[in-house]
């Protein structure tokens, strides 16, 4: 498919789009192996679905910000290339499904006309930087974090230090101590703070590191109680460089920052980060905290409004509207069931916002939307219009507002259906627990598998997809987890696994838990305090009758929304996979990094050039190690192993050893002189590796070697 790229598209984005188009063509022609191509396309937001022949496109929206014009553009491309549906995610992204791979460059080109990117929305990169959606209007915030989130997000976009990491890296900013952005389960989290010295107000952040969800959830540890604002990007860059070099790569299940932190400890992690500080691109980065592109329409007369049900209007206003810190304005939370919004609805919503609110819509971490700067007198009109669009459901962020991933509807990794269960639970809550529409401290979240895209481990009551065997049959099931989430005073909890229950019995299980809380909790007792007071075994025995398989009906063997017996169909995850390659191809990847280094030198981007030269060193060394069947599971391990196995070769002898020779890159500021010198050393080393490998091939009769390994990208 031809790709028309508008003159409005940036040169960097144009290059990305054309490269994606070329790589797709090479893949289709059999010139690139599937698994290797997968690693490439993921960093361009193109993610395989459960359904063969189509892709999910993930649109990267830093801190969830989308303008009305951007929302219209996303709706238009969804109609043209996808299904006409926009799926809002817990990472504040928007996903489009059922897109043909060969059409993804054209889709991306159209999005870039409104400055919307796919770059690094997936893959082993710095993922979308998330933040509290109410940043900038939150009455409790010490200051607006939005400019800091924006600056950090775009600083790492296309940054060479985070293009080929062992695993993904997630960053979050919260607007106040309530931690509505869940910093406690991120690789790095920032919480705004103010310090007063010599009659001056100093802005900074509490910094937490090493949190994460998934099968082994961990809460983040405090790295700094207060880090001045101009240091947050240099520190983040230093920490990512450490993660890139020391993080696990062979075992995908141990390749996140939380495992590196657990392995070496916080003190050592911060010591390594400090050792990188001299080599980072900037020693301090001042951020203009007053910068803003916010547009608020002039006051205008609203069309005639008719509210038929004022009681419903008041219920909506009580749960979905709040007063901003800016006097005379309100924020409106929009509850979006399942996070799905049709393109025609999105366009009408954009028109409403463009006419009567700020041009800054935010996607929320619970798959909703925030509209800002709405005048109080406009609220009846907004309710009427949102109600006509099906978007005036009350109870935003309440117990009734359940978060869930798409599950087995589209995801390869999902075990069970999340969306059908979510709808069933919300219907049950509406029928049996109407009062909980005002309850903000019991959150329910659902994931289709243990990987926590629905953030179930951060829920007071959570569920993740699983299965139970009963002789020859398999029962769709949900693992029940309890006790996660953020307390009213901002403390983060990781849920505990309690019991596995057939999926069709989960509505009864949830009702049982909520009734137990109603009957047994002390006055005003927070749900998690109630859970931990009674203990895990109390709830295990409470729910155990629902786990008995002897009393199952035929319907229990069918997942939600299905009419046939359940059959687990778990595909291969898209974030990493087994690789089949040859040493020569790995050597060419080292050359590719050198080519990128040349680009950096030409553009005077010396820090980028140095890091790409460093990557060339590492990849070339890895190639020869794999030729000798030496395991490569971290970059630092590659440097050490190369020194151990090849230092006897005269051609690979270096003053101080190979490791010290390569790590000279973190002993120098990124000057032009050092960038050129280091590049020359990397180029010389790569040529020596080529010559050595050629000699190996001659000795082996010209037969190149296949490498089959879970490890590939160190």
Q: Is the pLDDT of residue 386 over 90?
A: yes
- Which token pair is 103? 């059409």
**602 and 491: one domain?**
no
Q: Is the pLDDT of residue 475 over 70?
A: yes
Residue at a domain's end among 495, 526, 557: 557
8 Å CB contact between 333 and 396: yes
Residue at a domain's end among 112, 139, 169: 112
**262 and 191: one domain?**
yes
**377 and 423: one domain?**
no
Query: In CATH, what number is assigned to the domain containing residue 92?
Result: 3.90.480.20
Asked if residue 690 belongs to a domain, the reply is yes
Q: Is the pLDDT of residue 711 over 50?
A: no
**409 and 542: one domain?**
yes
**70 and 104: one domain?**
yes
Asked if residue 566 belongs to a domain, the reply is no
pLDDT in tens, 645-665: 999 999 999 999 999 999 999
Quick one: what percent of the chain has pLDDT higher than 70? 96
Query: Is residue 3 packed enough to be buried (19+ CB in 10 Å), middle (13-18) or exposed (0-12)?
Result: middle
Asked if residue 323 belongs to a domain, the reply is yes
Report the distance separating Cα 583 and Cα 626, nearest Å: 7
**157 and 275: one domain?**
yes
pLDDT at position 573 is: 53
pLDDT at position 574 is: 58
Q: Is the pLDDT of residue 578 over 60?
A: no
Domain carrying residue 374: 310-388
Q: Is the pLDDT of residue 579 over 50?
A: no
Taking residues 7-25, what's their average pLDDT?
96
**521 and 424: one domain?**
yes
Query: In CATH, what number is assigned to the domain containing residue 678?
Result: 1.20.120.330
pTM: 0.91
Asked if residue 513 belongs to a domain, the reply is yes
**158 and 259: one domain?**
yes
pLDDT in tens, 49-90: 988 889 999 999 999 999 999 999 999 999 999 999 999 999
Query: In CATH, what number is assigned to the domain containing residue 515?
Result: 3.30.413.10
Q: Is the pLDDT of residue 713 over 50?
A: no
**322 and 439: one domain?**
no
Asked if residue 397 belongs to a domain, the reply is no
pLDDT at position 312 is: 95
Taking residues 656-677, what's their average pLDDT?
95
Tally of CA atoms within 13 A in the half-sphere of 464 that contains its CB:
22
Residue at a domain's end among 82, 112, 142: 112
Quick one: what percent of the chain has pLDDT higher than 90? 79
Q: Is the pLDDT of residue 362 over 90?
A: yes
pLDDT in tens, 310-344: 999 999 999 999 999 999 999 999 999 999 999 99
| pLDDT category of residue 564 using cuts at 50, 70 and 90 | confident
Q: How far is CA 616 from CA 77, 97, 482, 678, in A?
A: 38, 36, 46, 11
| Helix ranges, 389-504 (H) | 418-432
Asked if residue 1 belongs to a domain, the reply is no
Nearby residues of 563 by Cβ (< 8 Å), 6 or more positions away: none
Q: Give residue for tokens 């910093």.
A: 183
Report the distance separating Cα 121 and Cα 142, nearest Å: 30
**549 and 421: one domain?**
yes
8 Å CB contact between 118 and 46: yes
Q: Is the pLDDT of residue 244 over 90?
A: yes
Q: Give residue for tokens 């990794």.
A: 413
- Burial readout 376-408 (b: 16 or more C-beta within 10 A, e: otherwise): eebbbbbbbbbbebebbbbbbbbbbbbbbbbbb
Mean pLDDT, the chain, whole residue set: 92
**Of 575, 615, 611, residue with least CA distance to 169:** 575
| pLDDT category of residue 215 using cuts at 50, 70 and 90 | confident
- Which token pair is 209? 């590191």
List % helix, strand, coil for the chain (3-state, nearest 5): 45, 15, 40
Q: Is the pLDDT of residue 95 over 60?
A: yes
Q: Is the pLDDT of residue 459 over 50?
A: yes
**81 and 139: one domain?**
no
Asked if residue 290 belongs to a domain, the reply is no
Q: Is the pLDDT of residue 576 over 50?
A: no
Q: Is the pLDDT of residue 387 over 80?
A: yes
Q: How far is CA 4 from CA 116, 678, 681, in A?
A: 16, 39, 41
**Of 331, 312, 308, 307, residue with least CA distance to 392:** 312
| pLDDT category of residue 470 using cuts at 50, 70 and 90 | confident
pLDDT at position 381 is: 97
Q: Give residue for tokens 């009957």.
A: 519
Helix-helix angle 232-246:266-276, to 10 degrees: 110
Q: Is the pLDDT of residue 575 over 80?
A: no
Number of domains in the chain: 5
Q: Is the pLDDT of residue 478 over 90?
A: yes
pLDDT in tens, 536-545: 999 999 999 9
pLDDT in tens, 267-304: 999 999 999 999 999 999 999 887 778 899 899 999 98
**257 and 336: one domain?**
no
Nearby residues of 23 by Cβ (< 8 Å), 6 or more positions away: 32, 37, 40, 41
| Helix ranges, 287-403 (H) | 310-320, 343-356, 379-388
pLDDT at position 703 is: 63
Report the distance separating Cα 227 and Cα 204, nearest Å: 5
pLDDT in tens, 99-128: 999 999 999 999 999 999 999 999 999 999
8 Å CB contact between 458 and 496: no
pLDDT at position 569 is: 63
pLDDT in tens, 143-185: 999 999 999 999 999 999 999 899 999 999 999 999 999 999 9
- Which token pair is 554? 């035929």
**Of 348, 350, 368, 367, residue with least CA distance to 359:** 350
Taking residues 619-644, what's their average pLDDT?
92
Report the distance separating Cα 261 and Cα 241, nearest Å: 14
Asked if residue 423 belongs to a domain, the reply is yes
Comparing 67-71, 227-231, 286-290, 605-609, the range with the smallest average pLDDT is 286-290
pLDDT at position 710 is: 44
Chain-centroid distance, C-alpha 289: 25
Work out whether strand 444-447 and strand 461-470 pair parallel, antiparallel, or are unpaired.
parallel
């Amino acid at each position: 498919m031809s790709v028309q790229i508008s003159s409005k598209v940036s040169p960097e984005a144009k290059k990305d789009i054309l490269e994606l188009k070329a790589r797709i063509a090479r893949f289709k022609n059999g010139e690139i192996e599937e698994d290797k191509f997968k690693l490439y396309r993921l960093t361009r937001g193109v993610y395989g679905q459960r359904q063969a022949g189509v892709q999910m496109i993930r649109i990267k929206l830093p801190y969830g910000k989308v303008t009305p014009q951007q929302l219209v553009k996303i709706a238009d491309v969804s109609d043209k290339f996808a299904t006409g549906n926009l799926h809002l995610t817990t990472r504040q992204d928007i996903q489009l499904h059922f897109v043909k791979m060969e059409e993804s460059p054209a889709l991306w080109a159209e999005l870039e006309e409104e400055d919307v990117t796919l770059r690094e929305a997936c893959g082993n990169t710095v993922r979308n930087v998330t933040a509290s959606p109410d940043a900038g209007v939150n009455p409790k915030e010490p200051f607006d974090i939005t400019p800091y989130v924006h600056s950090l997000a775009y600083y790492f976009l296309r940054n060479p230090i985070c293009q080929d990491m062992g695993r993904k890296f997630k960053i979050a900013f919260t607007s106040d101590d309530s931690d509505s952005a869940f910093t406690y389960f991120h690789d790095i989290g920032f919480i705004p703070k103010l310090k007063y010295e010599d009659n001056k107000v100093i802005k900074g952040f509490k910094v937490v590191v090493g949190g994460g969800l998934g099968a082994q959830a961990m809460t983040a540890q405090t790295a700094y109680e207060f880090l001045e604002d101009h240091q947050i990007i240099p520190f983040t860059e230093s920490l990512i460089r450490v993660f890139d070099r020391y993080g696990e790569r062979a075992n995908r299940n141990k390749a996140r920052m939380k495992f590196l932190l657990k392995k070496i400890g916080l003190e050592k992690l911060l010591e390594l980060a400090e050792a990188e500080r001299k080599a980072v691109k900037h020693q301090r980065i001042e951020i203009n905290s007053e910068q803003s592109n916010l547009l608020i329409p002039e006051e205008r007369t609203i069309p005639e409004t008719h509210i038929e049900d004022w009681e419903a209007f008041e219920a909506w206003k009580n749960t979905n509207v709040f007063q901003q810190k800016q006097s005379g304005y309100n924020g409106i939370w929009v509850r979006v069931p399942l996070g799905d919004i049709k393109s025609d609805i999105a366009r009408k919503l954009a028109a409403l916002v463009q006419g009567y609110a700020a041009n800054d819509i935010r996607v929320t971490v619970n798959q909703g939307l925030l509209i800002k700067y709405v005048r109080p007198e406009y609220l009846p009109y907004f309710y009427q219009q949102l109600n006509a669009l099906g978007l005036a459901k009350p109870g935003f962020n309440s117990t009734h507002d359940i978060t869930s991933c798409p599950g087995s509807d589209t995801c390869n990794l999902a075990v069970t259906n999340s969306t059908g269960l979510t709808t069933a639970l919300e219907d049950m809550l509406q029928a049996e627990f109407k009062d909980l529409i005002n309850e903000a401290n019991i959150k329910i979240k659902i994931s289709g598998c243990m990987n926590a895209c629905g953030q179930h481990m951060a829920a007071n009551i959570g569920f993740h997809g699983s299965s139970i065997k009963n002789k020859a049959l398999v029962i769709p099931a949900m693992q029940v987890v309890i006790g996660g989430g953020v307390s009213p005073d901002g403390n983060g909890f990781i849920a505990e696994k309690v019991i596995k229950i057939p999926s069709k019995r989960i509505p009864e299980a949830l009702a049982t838990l909520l009734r137990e809380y109603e009957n047994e909790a002390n006055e005003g007792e927070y749900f998690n305090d109630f859970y931990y007071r009674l203990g895990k075994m109390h709830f295990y025995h409470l729910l155990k009758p629902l786990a008995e398989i002897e009393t199952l009906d035929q319907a229990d063997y069918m997942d939600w929304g299905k009419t046939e017996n359940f059959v687990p169909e778990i595909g291969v995850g898209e974030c990493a996979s087994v690789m089949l390659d040859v040493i020569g191809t790995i050597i060419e990847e080292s050359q590719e990094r050198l080519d990128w280094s040349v680009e950096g030198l030409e553009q005077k981007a010396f820090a980028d050039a140095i890091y790409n030269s460093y990557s060339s060193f590492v990849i070339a060394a890895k190639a020869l190690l794999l030729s000798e069947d030496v395991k490569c599971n971290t970059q630092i391990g590659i440097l050490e192993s190369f020194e151990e196995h090849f230092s006897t070769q005269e051609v690979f002898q270096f003053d101080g050893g190979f490791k010290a020779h390569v790590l000279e890159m973190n002993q120098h500021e990124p000057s032009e002189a050092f960038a050129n010198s280091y590049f020359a050393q990397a180029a010389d080393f790569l040529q020596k590796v080529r010559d050595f490998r050629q000699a190996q091939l001659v000795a082996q009769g010209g037969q190149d070697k296949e490498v089959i390994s879970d490890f590939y990208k160190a």
